[in-house]
Structure 1
């Protein structure tokens, strides 16, 4: 599977990271989410899915169809 064929997901920060544990803030920064209601597109890899699972109460995840 090439990069063009790889599945992608869109991740949007929908809840603030204020008053959240430091580990959650670090995960959000690792995903590239710094501001509320901003979105990033990432490859759907096990590493990214693990990060998403840690902060799933703060974000919204959508599959992107190629």
Structure 2
């Protein structure tokens, strides 16, 4: 069984215009500032849950810590 990588690279691919306020706040909470912006976050259950909520607005890839 492969181990999970330590970090996730999250890239915002779509705008939050027209999205619910909770999704806008989730994007902001992840540290994303607009389409094309990216952040690297820890691979924890809380970050994975936030990403799952806005998965239609972002792309995600695992990266080494």
Structures share a fold, TM > 0.5?
yes
Instruction: Report the 3-state secondary structure (helix = DSSP H, G, I; strand = E; otherwise coil) of the residue aligned with 2:29.
Output: helix
Over the aligned positions, Cα root-mean-square deviation in angstroms equals: 1.2
TM-score, normalised to structure 1, is 0.87
Which stretches of structure 1, 4 residues or more, deviate above 4 A after TM superposition?
none
Identify the residue that residue 58 of structure 2 maps to in structure 1.
Answer: 59
Q: Distance in 1 between matches of 2:61 and 2:41?
A: 11
What corresponds to 2:23 in structure 1?
24
Q: CA deviation at 1:21?
A: 0.2
Unaligned runs of 5+ in 2: none
d(CA) in 2 for partners of 1:34, 1:22? 15
TM-score with structure 2 setting the length: 0.89
How many residues of Structure 1 are paired with residues of Structure 2 in the alignment? 61
